Amino acid sequence: MAANDGHRVTVNGAPCSLDGTDPATNALDWLRGQGLTGAKEGCAEGECGACSVMVARPDGTGDGTRWTAVNACLLPAAALDGQEVVTAEGLGSPDALHPVQREMAVRGGSQCGYCTPGFVCSMAAEYYRPDRAAVDGGSDGASTSGQGGAAPHDAHECGPNGFDLHALSGNLCRCTGYRPIRDAAYALGAPEASDPYAARQASPPPPAAATRLVGTTGTYARPAELPEALGLLAEHPGAVLVAGSTDWGVEVNLRGSRAPYAIGIDRLPELRTFEVGDDVVELGAALTLTECERLLEGRVPLLDQLFPQFASRLIRNGATIGGNLGTGSPIGDTPPALLALEAVVVLASAAGDREVPLADYFTGYRQTVRRDDELIRAVRIPMPVSTTTAFHKIAKRRFDDISSVAVGFALDVRDGVVAKARIGLGGVAATPIRALATEAALEGRPWTTDVAREAAEVMAREGTPMDDHRASAPYRSAMLGTALLKLHAQTATPQEVGA
């Protein structure tokens, strides 16, 4: 796997050439083409984790590296230019097993073995998490030590060694069963001082390389700075913007989509900002959801409820907050919450920035006000946030699923009266929407059971729900009304319930 001069990736410590790789090739196929066949394709859409590998990413301090598990089936191989990747083969060998591999073996964590390399990589990324520490309680004890912030009680299920089991939420096993895998995870100690991957974390990850790969299907370009990206976007107005590729990767794999010109924006420093002020929190559009969760540290409780329900940790390690808005999907999970938070989208072009309230951003099914020469630079959330917030997601599976209905609530209840109500809805119209009629039915009225029931009847009629394979229109309407009643039951004081 000797590398030629040009585009290359460090894989398991060895340089590998990307030259000649078509831009439509995903990282999984490229790695397997290098002879590293441990990672497998199970679903090709990021829902099984058989393709999991570790990549070196910034740790958030600017000084170190965080080993991060991602779905190789979704990530373009071109996006790895200049980066470091570790596969299951690189962690250990049959004669010198890595601690994760050893625990999986001795505790019966593998049967057919198809999914095992992916589990091993996801488990190793959690094994190397720098803030992992032993916690009090038994192996089923809940803890919020996994990622930081005030998360719901089931957001992090940590063992006595601090291992957050939700780090494996994107990995599926069809034959072994999860108990021995959990046992292996909870048996892991701390990395030894001589562990090369633990030592690697003390140094920064490699910087993002400026990239331009041309192939038979098109071109992939990753500029070094925002002005260059905006220039490319002006030259190629139909270009596909690629960040985490958790949406575009599915289109490429399952629908055969190809981009004549793709612009990688995932590592642009201007899109990876994080600022906290008295009046606003700004999240750079290229921050992954995992990074947003870690950086916010509980400042926005509504988002803390959203994050654990957004797909899986593997997906959140790649998916970006700007990308989830950029797709314009009516069933994205972040829009309902951000609508309730009255978020503002910052759009950048060569002419400068412009701010658009998220409530005005969506114009139709997968259509937005973003022009062809613009990209999302940041998302701004006004502070302080409302006192009563919640995120309700109705889906067929508890985790790692697309929502049938999603609701974001942000209410200010003062002295028993709803002074302000903002409610965002997803899955009930061609776009994410605000529940304006329900907000009007609540504002200025006491937060009582009777008022909640009246407003729930209004909310059940919001939007234009449709029948599809995920849910029927009547079911969606019923879930809207139920969501508001659930919020009242969870947040009202005994006096308000009995009023």
The predicted structure's pLDDT at residue 496 = 67
**Domain match, 71 and 171 both:** yes
Look at residue 67 and tell me if it is in a domain: yes
What is the extent of the structural domain holding 318? 270-498
Quote the CA–CA distance of 282 and 191 in Å, as a whole number.
35
Domain edge (last residue) among 192, 208, 224: 208
Mean pLDDT within 424-441: 97
Residue of 121, 100, 115, 124 whose CA lies nearest to 40: 115
Half-sphere exposure of 64 (CA within 13 A, CB side): 16
278-335 per-position pLDDT tens digit: 999 999 999 999 999 999 999 999 999 999 999 999 999 999 999 999 999 999 999 9
Give 398's contacts (C-beta < 8 A, 6+ positions apart).
none
**Domain match, 21 and 159 both:** yes
Mean pLDDT within 147-158: 51
Helices marked H in 404-493 — which ranges?
436-442, 449-459, 473-491
The predicted structure's pLDDT at residue 6 = 81
Q: Angle, to 10 degrees, between the axis of helix 116-127 and the axis of helix 178-186?
A: 30
User: If you average pLDDT over every residue of the chain, what do you get?
Assistant: 92
**Domain match, 27 and 162 both:** yes
**Domain match, 165 and 302 both:** no
* Contact yes or no for 345/319 (Cβ under 8 A): no
pLDDT of 142 above 60:
no
Instruction: Encode burial over 207-229: b for 16+ CB neighbours within 10 A, e otherwise.
Output: ebbebebeeebbbbbbbeebeeb
Going across the sheet that includes 240-242, the strands are: 211-214, 219-222, 261-264, 240-242
Helices marked H in 12-161 — which ranges?
27-33, 88-91, 99-106, 116-127
* Contact yes or no for 381/274 (Cβ under 8 A): no
The count of structural domains within the chain is 2
Q: Which amino acid is at 28?
A: L
* Contact yes or no for 124/91 (Cβ under 8 A): yes
Look at residue 227 and tell me if it is in a domain: no
Residue of 98, 163, 100 whose CA lies nearest to 132: 163
Q: Angle, to 10 degrees, between the axis of helix 178-186 and the axis of helix 99-106?
A: 140
Quote the CA–CA distance of 236 and 340 in Å, as a whole number.
34
Q: Is the C-alpha dihedral spanning 452, 453, 458, 460 positive or negative? A: positive
Mean pLDDT within 398-420: 94
195-225 per-position pLDDT tens digit: 999 999 999 999 988 999 999 999 999 999 9
pLDDT of 129 above 60:
yes
**Domain match, 284 and 177 both:** no
Mean pLDDT within 470-477: 94
Quote the CA–CA distance of 247 and 123 in Å, as a whole number.
24
**Domain match, 276 and 170 both:** no
Quote the CA–CA distance of 240 and 230 in Å, as a whole number.
13
**Local structure of 153: helix, strand or coil:** coil
Look at residue 255 and tell me if it is in a domain: no
Least confident of 111-120, 277-286, 390-399: 390-399
pLDDT of 499 above 70:
no
pLDDT of 25 above 70:
yes
User: What confidence tier does 138 reach under pLDDT thresholds 50, 70, 90?
Assistant: very low
pLDDT of 134 above 80:
no
Report the CATH number at residue 98. Answer: 3.10.20.30
**Domain match, 14 and 160 both:** yes
Phi, psi (degrees; rounded to nearest 5) at 136:
-75, 155
Look at residue 244 and tell me if it is in a domain: no
Beta-strand relationship, 261-264 and 240-242:
parallel
Beta-strand relationship, 65-71 and 211-214:
unpaired
Give 163's contacts (C-beta < 8 A, 6+ positions apart).
126, 127, 132, 185, 186, 188
Look at residue 353 and tell me if it is in a domain: yes
Mean pLDDT within 332-347: 98
User: What confidence tier does 136 reach under pLDDT thresholds 50, 70, 90?
Assistant: very low
The predicted structure's pLDDT at residue 399 = 79
Look at residue 133 and tell me if it is in a domain: yes
Q: Which two tokens stand for residue 219?
A: 């071109």
Burial class (CB in 10 A: 0-12, 13-18, 19+), 291: buried
**Domain match, 341 and 490 both:** yes
Quote the CA–CA distance of 349 and 232 in Å, as a whole number.
11
Domain edge (last residue) among 172, 190, 208: 208
Mean pLDDT within 136-148: 37
Look at residue 162 and tell me if it is in a domain: yes
Question: How would DSSP label each residue in 330-385?
Answer: TT-SHHHHHHHTT-EEEEEETTEEEEEEGGGTEEETTEES--TT-EEEEEEEESSP
Look at residue 265 and tell me if it is in a domain: no
The predicted structure's pLDDT at residue 4 = 38
The predicted structure's pLDDT at residue 2 = 39
Instruction: Encode burial over 349-366: b for 16+ CB neighbours within 10 A, e otherwise.
Output: beeeeeebebbebbeeee
Report the CATH number at residue 398. Answer: 3.30.465.10
Q: Which amino acid is at 433?
A: I
Domain edge (last residue) among 160, 186, 208: 208
